[in-house]
Amino acid sequence: MSKLYIHDWRQWQSYRSDRGQPPWIKVHRSLMRDHKWVALSDQQKGQLISMWILAADNDGWIPDNANLVQKLCYLDSEPDLECFINQGLVDRGVNLASTWRQHDAPEAETETETEAEKKQKKKPKPTRFVPPTVDEVKQYCKERNNSVDAERFVDFYASKGWLVGKTKMRDWQASVRTWEKTGKQEQPRRPSRKLLT
């Protein structure tokens, strides 16, 4: 079955992946300033939230079938999935053998699907990290209404080869949020001065 993936699903999760899926999803206030969200009709916004709840059961994935999504989300009408894809809110997945578990499936079929899930349960490959520009960081900080110095942020991590500790940075927005929370504008350490003898 072809599947769709909620765009930036992992970025919006606030739980630890080793503790399983929580029984809720989080809707961020910054959504009200997101041009993709604002462009949607009221009906589409409701459909999208229902799709997010559905995706929470399957680690960000939903079926690429409007009729099935309508039924699983208890919607009055079929969602226009192409609209959500074109808006960049949902990404087209790859064709996989059906791993979508239906609650009314016969027991033998469920066992087969579970075996297939184990074989194919590979997390989506992370995209290659692309360092942000100062303007991108400024825009993100403006959206979050924080006082992080975008130029200092970019200069700091560029001088470190975009490493966080000894690990290559994967999510610069998360690092901005860390600076925001701590209120700490990190500064490069000064080299130690050794006395010549």
Q: For the chain, what is the total number of helices (H) and then of strands (E)?
A: 8, 5
**E strand intervals along the chain:** 2-6, 61-63, 90-95, 163-164, 167-168
| Interhelix angle 134-144/172-182, nearest 10 degrees | 50
**pLDDT value of position 111:** 45
Question: What is the helix (H) or strand (E) element at residue 45, kind and residue range?
Answer: helix 42-56
pLDDT tens digit sequence for 169-186: 888 999 999 998 887 655
Q: Are 152 and 138 in contact (CB under 8 A)?
A: no
pLDDT band at 167, cuts 50/70/90?
confident
pTM for the structure as a whole: 0.45
Residue type present at position 148: V
Burial (CB count within 10 angstroms: exposed 0-12, middle 13-18, buried 19+), residue 173? middle
Q: For residue 73, what are its two tokens?
A: 């989300």
105, 113 Cβ separation under 8 angstroms: yes
Any bridge partners for residue 95, and if so which?
2
Tokens representing 48? 């999208």
Beta bridge partners of 164: 167
Give the residues across from 63 on adjacent strands.
Answer: 3
pLDDT at 33: 85
Run of H or E residues at 68: helix 66-73
pLDDT in tens, 45-85: 899 989 888 888 888 888 989 999 999 999 999 999 998 98
Q: Which two tokens stand for residue 126?
A: 């992370």
Q: What φ, ψ does residue 189 adopt, rounded to 5°?
A: -70, 145
Q: Which residue has the tokens 């209120």?
A: 183
